Structure 1
Amino acid sequence: MPTPILTHNLPVTAPNLPTPERPVRLVARNLKISQDLAPHSHPCGQITYTPQGMLQVIADGTVWFVPPMRAIWIPPNTVHEVRLLTESNLRAIHIHEDFSPLSKSRCLVLDVSHLLRELIFSLEYSEPGSRREEHLVQVILDELMEAKPLPIYLPMPKDKRLKNLCELLLAQPGSNDTLDVLATKVGASARTLTRLFEQELHMSFGDWRQQMRLARAYPLIANGTPLSQVASELGYASQSAFSAMFKKTFGVSPSHFFKQSE
C-alpha cells in the first residue's frame, strides 16, 4: 500500500511513484484553501505547479510563492510543505531521480512557458502508459531543461524566536511595526533579533521585510491584482513608492517586468 501523506485537515493517498519505464507521473488535485499539505518528502523530484490559484511552498529553509505562470522544482528527498493562499488546482509532476532535468541539490523557481503549460494539461488527460504519454513526457523533460530559473525566494531562519517573527510578517505583510514592537510579540529583544538576522539570514531586518514583500508581490501581480492594491496590501504609502522599490530591485518597473514575461 502507498504511504499516506497527511494534510492539516485530511489524509490523502500518495500516488504511484515514477519508474524508469514511466519516469514522469502527474498528480492532479483541486484543493480548498484549508487543505494545506503538511511537511513530507518523495524519493523522486517534483515540479509543483498550479494553473489556477496561488501556493506557498516551504522547503530548504526557504519560502517560495507560486502563481500560475511559475512553478517550483523540488529535488528528491527534500522535505517540503504546501500552504494554499487561495483555492488552487495543484498539479504535482513527479520525476524519477534518474531522469531529473534539474538540480538534485536545490529548489528552483521556474518560468512556465505557454508550451509547458499546455503539455502539463495534455499529460493530465493522456492515457496512462500510452505512446502519447511517452511523447508528452519527453517534451516536458526537454522544456524543463530550457526553463528559466528566477531569483525569487525568501530565506527562513531556524531560531524559534526569529522564525516566529518572520511567520508574523508573512501572515501580515502590510504591517509596518518596528522591530522593537515586533520583538515584544516573540519574546526577544530587538538587539537579539538584529543579531540573529545577520547571523542566520545574512541580511538586516529591513532587507528581509523588503524581500518578503517582493516575494509576496510577485504572485499577486502575476494574478492580475492592480498595483495600487498590491502596494496597499504590502504596507506601502503609495503605488509609486512600491514601484520605486520594485524597480530598484529588478531594474525595471513592475508593469514592464510582467509585460516581458507574457
Structure 2
Amino acid sequence: MPVAVVNHTQFNWDSNFPTEACPVTMSGRDLEATTVLLPHHHPWGQFTYAMQGVIRVDANQSSWIVPPQRAIWIPPDMVHGVTVLERTRLRPLCVHASRTPFPGSECRVLEVSSLLRELLAALEQHDQHEASHREHLLGEMLLDELPRCAERPVRVPLPTDKRLKALCDALLADPGAELTLAGWAAQVGASERTLTRLFERELGMGFGHWRQQVRLAHAAPLISRGMPLSQVAAELGYASQSAFSAMFRKSFGCSPSTFFNSEK
C-alpha cells in the first residue's frame, strides 16, 4: 500500500485554533492507513486522540504507539509527526498555551477515562463555529479531567545516528523481525560493536531492551482490538504466548489481560 505523505497545513486545522477566550477546540480528519503527517508544530498544546484506529507519534526523539483507549499530550511548540498505522478517526484537542493541563515539556501517554471519552464526544458534536456557554463548560471539564487520567507510558526512544536510525526504523515497521544485532549490523553497514556502543550512548539501553520496548508498544493496539495473545506473541517474534506474557508481566507487574481489562 503506498504511503500518503501529507503536510499539516493541507488540512487547514489551524482555522479552529484555541484562544484565551476559547482555550479548548477540536479539529479532526479521518485518515487512511499509511498516511504520514510531516513533522510540524504550533503554539498550542495538543491532546492527540484517535476515536478509532492506531497512530504512531514521533516527537522529542521518541516514538509512541497510540491505540484508541489511549491518547498523547504534546506540549505547545513541540515538533511532532504522525504515522497512521490503521485507518483512523483522528480528533486532536487543541489547548491554548496559557491553559496547559500539564507542567513541563514532556509528552505524556494517557489512558482515556470513560468521562473524558464522553466529554470529547460531546465537544465533537458541538458546532465549533458557534461559541456558547455549553462549549465553555465542556472545555473547562476537559481541562479538569485531563490531568486526572492515568499515565500509561510505553516510550520508545529514537536515535540520531543514521546507521542506528536505519535499524530502529526497520524494527518499528516490523517489530517481529528476528535478526540478531550481528544480522542488523550487516544490513546497516556498521559493526556489531559499534551498534552496541550507539545503543548505549544514544538510547541509554541495549538492543534487546530497546526491541522489547518496541514490541510492548505494538502489543497494545493488537490486544485492544481483540487479537488472541498467542497470535500477538507470534506477530511480535516471541516463541510462545507464555514467553510474551512473562515479558509483559515483568514490565508492567501484571498479565496483559489484567492490564487491558483494567482500562475498560
Common fold, TM-score beyond 0.5? yes
Per-residue CA distance 1:123-161 (angstroms, 9 max, x = gap): 011133111111111100000021112221111111111
Question: In 2 relative to 1, CA 192–222 (structure 1 residues): closer, same or farther, beyond 3 Å?
Answer: same
Task: Name the SS for the 2:5 alignment partner.
Answer: coil
Per-residue CA distance 1:178-199 (angstroms, 9 max, x = gap): 1111111111111100000011
What is the 5 A alignment of 1:1-262? 8-9=5-6, 11-16=10-15, 17-127=17-127, 128-262=130-264
CA contact (8 A) 1:69 1:111 kept: yes
How far the C-alpha of 1:9 sits from its partner, in A, is: 4.4
Q: Over aligned residues, Cα RMSD in angstroms?
A: 1.2
Per-residue CA distance 1:60-93 (angstroms, 9 max, x = gap): 1111011111000000000000001010000111
Question: CA separation in 1, counterparts of 2:92 and 2:259?
Answer: 27
Question: CA separation in 2, counterparts of 1:121 and 1:251?
Answer: 32
TM-score by length of 1: 0.95
How far the C-alpha of 1:255 sits from its partner, in A, is: 0.7
Structure 1 unaligned spans of 5+: 1-6
CA contact (8 A) 1:48 1:71 kept: yes
Q: Which amino acid aligns with 1:161?
A: R
Question: CA separation in 2, counterparts of 1:60 and 1:32?
Answer: 25
CA contact (8 A) 2:49 2:68 kept: yes
Alignment coverage as a number of residue pairs:
256
Question: CA separation in 2, counterparts of 1:232 and 1:156?
Answer: 25
Structure 2 unaligned spans of 5+: none
Task: Name the SS for the 2:51 alignment partner.
Answer: coil
Question: CA separation in 1, counterparts of 2:179 and 2:236?
Answer: 12
Moved over 6 A (4+): none
